[in-house]
Structure 1
Amino acid sequence: MTSTPTHLNKTRIAPTPSGFLHVGNILSFAITAALARKHGAKILLRIDDLDRARVTPEYLTDIFDTLQFLEIPWDEGPRDADDFEVNFSQLQRMHLYNDALEQLAAGGFVFACTCSRRELNEVGLCACFDKHIPLNTPEASWRLLTNCTVLEVKDYNGATIKAQLPAEMENFIVRKKDGFPAYQLTSVIDDLFYGIDLIVRGDDLWPSTLAQIELAVVLGKPTFNNTVFYHHPLLLEAPGKKLSKSAGSTSVRYLRQEGRSVAEVFELISDLLALSGRAINWQQLAGLILS
């Protein structure tokens, strides 16, 4: 028999300022807020800004504008873009990421990769491990040397799901060619740093969940194994095609410019999910999904 957890301390909303927030993001945020309020957990606003080539001030400001417009709450983290830049940017936690990377290198858990995107598309898998490329090679990424261990995921509904890392995540990147830590590593380190024990994300990020659990095991961070995960269905633009940040017509910014109200935004999400009712705020949307 399974049951939902009773003791949860903190969850997070973790947008990336590389595009305008869209209704798919809002779905995830609404579920996060509702589960936090249900369990008396705090909500952290954690903005992932290390994709420096794509991050813009306009996208950063949009995060705060959208959350405030839709009245989605958070308890910890930056209150506005200026506060974020000064006090919460991931750039301020680079020493934590670099410490983790150094630990992986010292333990022999990573190898250098010089494959181009085209080479990976043509061949499918990186074969750089056998080349013994020095880790300090310019323009080389670092890949985690993954194995076939069975990983355990604590599901929100009380089950412990056992699974192996999917093929597409084999030897995933932990340090990019530009020298910056990759998403999988920064996400684990940030969630540990902030004490996150509930992570809400879309079904499409199931491979990332498994990758992050494996990385935490390698880093010797057993606390991360106690994290509870809630994976929700995705909003689709068309059958089988998930929403993307390039889908401008589904961005909240676009909808606001078209004169849509808060209620109309949530009604649109309800319709895209084909829910039994039509929500007019985040509380009602989450209620229809979680009931």
Structure 2
Amino acid sequence: MKNFKLTRYAPTPSGFLHLGNVYSFIMTYHLAKKHQAKILLRIDDLDKERVKNRYIQDIFDTLDFLELPYDIGPKNLKDFTANFSQNKRMAQYSKSLNVLKKSQLLFACDCSRNKMEKMHPKGYYTGFCRNKKLSLEQKETSWRLKADMHQDISIKDLNEGHIVGKLPGILTDFIVRRKDGLPAYQLTSVVDDLHFGVDLVVRGKDLFGSTLAQVFLSEHLDPNTFAQNTFYHHYLLQDPNNQKLSKSAGASSIQFMRKSGKKKEDIYRMIGEWLGVKEPIKSLEEFGRYV
């Protein structure tokens, strides 16, 4: 069995953490334990329109409440702001964007979300601006990386070894720099994992497309080891109505349940029930039997 150096919890503080987030943390914790990896807490905070300090604080509150440990990263909101915010790595993101710019693989796009929805029923990007030759310096344009949804991309899967996939339509010519000039998620995620030395990435199956996009992206940056990382895509936790959970202050948020008097044992038991586990699970360690 292969051992790894580092994996991570990587929440985006755009809402209160819910049971699905916690399930992903649980999987990460047990895979780290199984493969002798340390855990990094990596918080993605560049989306200023959605990210709020109360949501960042909720991450620390939730991890503390559920006694979910990690080895590297901020210990509280003040420590995060001072030492671990993505704003501290803007120079690295800019360097990677400049590498892409020199590669001639970028093009500027001024399409709005409304326009894309009109061009494709699912909102997929149809390459409208590929040949418009808009200047990358033009204001109010995003930078897109030329990426064909029909191209094969190989990744290393923890259980299946090397597997090949194709970019989903929603990630065709995906954005690497937003219209506001900030680096986009796919780029910051790659740069951050390389910066910290992550070599095992645990995430939900809904992010399999992002894995493909990020491996593709990494191969067009300065020489790096990202494509050699190992990935594990876990099943998504769904509510009793088989609906995917989303961030909200609703009934599945840990904050709501904590304020309603739930204990950590209640949270773990609920996750076990939603997973269909017959015997009640009351602790973090008991999930190890199912990973």
Tell me if both proteins adopt one fold, taking TM over 0.5 as the criterion. Answer: yes
- Tell me, which stretches of 5 or more residues in structure 2 are unaligned? 121-125
Which of the numbers 112, 125, 143 marks the counterpart of 2:108? Answer: 112
Return 116-125 or 88-97, whichever deviates more.
116-125
- Native 8 Å contact 1:203 1:231 kept in 2: yes
1:236-255 matches, cutoff 5 A: 236-237=238-239, 239=241, 241-246=243-248, 248-255=250-257
Instruction: Tell me: CA distance 1:119–1:238, structure 2 relative to 1, closer, same or farther (3 Å).
Output: farther
Distance 1:275 1:210 in 2: 31
Deviation at 1:158, TM superposition (A): 4.4
1:63-78 matches, cutoff 5 A: 63-78=59-74
Secondary structure of 1:162's counterpart equals strand
Equivalent pairs counted in the alignment come to 285
Secondary structure of 2:207's counterpart equals helix
- Native 8 Å contact 2:5 2:38 kept in 1: yes
- Native 8 Å contact 2:16 2:249 kept in 1: no
1:89-238 matches, cutoff 5 A: 89-124=85-120, 125-147=126-148, 148-237=150-239
Q: Which amino acid in structure 1 is aligned with residue 52 of structure 2?
A: T
Distance 1:221 1:240 in 2: 42
Secondary structure of 2:262's counterpart equals coil
Greater fraction of residues in helix: 1
Instruction: Tell me: CA distance 1:284–1:83, structure 2 relative to 1, closer, same or farther (3 Å).
Output: same
Instruction: Tell me: CA distance 1:180–1:74, structure 2 relative to 1, closer, same or farther (3 Å).
Output: same
In structure 2, the partner of 1:15 is 11
Secondary structure of 1:160's counterpart equals strand
Distance 2:206 2:165 in 1: 15
Distance 1:232 1:221 in 2: 29
- TM-score where L is the length of structure 2: 0.94
- Native 8 Å contact 1:113 1:126 kept in 2: no
1:173-198 alpha-carbon deviations (Å, 9 max, x no partner) = 00011110000000000001110000
Deviation at 1:106, TM superposition (A): 1.1
Deviation at 1:288, TM superposition (A): 3.8
- Tell me, which stretches of 5 or more residues in structure 1 are unaligned? none
Deviation at 1:278, TM superposition (A): 2.3
Distance 2:178 2:242 in 1: 30
Return 165-174 or 204-213, whichever deviates more.
165-174
Instruction: Tell me: CA distance 1:267–1:238, structure 2 relative to 1, closer, same or farther (3 Å).
Output: closer
Secondary structure of 1:249's counterpart equals coil
Instruction: Tell me: CA distance 1:81–1:173, structure 2 relative to 1, closer, same or farther (3 Å).
Output: same
- Native 8 Å contact 1:20 1:245 kept in 2: yes
List structure 1 segments (4+ residues) > 4 angstroms apart after TM superposition.
Answer: none
Return 264-273 or 82-91, whichever deviates more.
264-273
RMSD: 1.3
